[in-house]
A = this chain, B = another copy of it.
């Protein structure tokens, strides 16, 4: 099966899909309808369900798996799914939510294994113990959490994928600039975004938690580092340095870091985070673009369209 986002206009559809989002609407002449975002592993597509009633609204909620028959058509330059039949999937059909959500290309266990290897490179015992403690504590969530609600690494295991990709880049940079302290750099990369397992609700239909809104993943993680140090009876500059790395990784106050980077590893951490996030967005956008054409506008990249060369 090709995946719902890969089908051309006119193609017939008959498959299981997950409702990612469901919104009620009324047409300009007052008729009720539902607007659904349906997804499988390839991504998501919009669909309309006409002449709906309260029963439909209760049945077709977010996170429900449905069996849909229909056809792909073009609506204002974007593909849509015209629904002909729809029903809720039956338990005996054995479809899991995890079968229908995009996830990292590399299996999460393999990513976790690669992350674990970096623990052996952290020599400082205080840094090592705090980092291991926090990864162990959040491991179940970390295995599946996305790194964001949208834009980059916004899929199952996206957070872990992002962290491992950054570790690879961090290692390459540290080899070229040996004045960097790899204990701090690797621990900073591993911990910088783990607060997102509290800030975001989870891998499906991801939104912000109240704590995520009021405190944010940076503050959440800075607190957890402090708590971990207390629990492990660790004192010393390492605690403050790890907190500073997490605290400053957005690079500037207006981007949510209450302090700018003030150690060189924090400065480089900010760059590594940026490069990895941008390459993830660019790859995705360019994969959908033909040579000689421009991508759609990418909001987090200053709303730029990127050109795909023909050479």
Contacts and interface: CB of A to CB of B under 8 A. Distances in A.
A134 to B, nearest CB: 14
Interface string A29-47: 1110100000000000000
B262 A309 contact: no
A63 interface: no
A282 B253 contact: no
Contact of A240 (B28, B214, B264): B214
A307 B210 contact: yes
Number of identical protomers: 6
Contacts of A183: 311
Contact of A307 (B28, B29, B263, B275): B263
A213 B305 CA distance: 10
A67 interface: no
A311 B279 CA distance: 33
A230 interface: yes
B172 A240 contact: no
Interface in A227-271: 227, 230, 236-238, 240-241, 243-244, 247, 253-264, 267-268, 271
Interface in A170-192: 172-173, 175-177, 179, 181, 183-184
Contact of A244 (B50, B215, B275): B215
A110 interface: no
Contacts of A76: 23-26
Contacts of A33: 28
Interface in A69-106: 73-76, 82
Given A173-B169, A275-B271, A259 B214 contact: yes
A309 B181 contact: yes
A263 B298 CA distance: 13
Interface string A134-178: 000000000000000000000000000000010011001101110
